Amino acid sequence: MAIVTTTKGDMDDSLLEKKEGIIDNDNETTQWVEYWLESELVHRSVHMTLKRNVAGEAVAQSLG
Q: Is 49 in the site for other proteins (CB under 8 A)?
A: yes
Q: Is 41 in the site for other proteins (CB under 8 A)?
A: yes
**Distance, CA of 60 to chain centre:** 40
**How many Cα neighbours within 13 Å face the side chain of 63?**
0
Quick note: the x/- pattern for other proteins over 1-40, rule CB under 8 A, is ----xxx---------------x-x-xx-x-xxx------
Phi/psi for 2 (5° steps) reads: -145, 155
Count, residues near other proteins per rule CB under 8 A? 31
Provide the 10 A C-beta neighbour count for residue 4: 18
- Given the rule CB under 8 A, which residues bind other proteins? 5-7, 23, 25, 27-28, 30, 32-34, 41-51, 53-60, 62
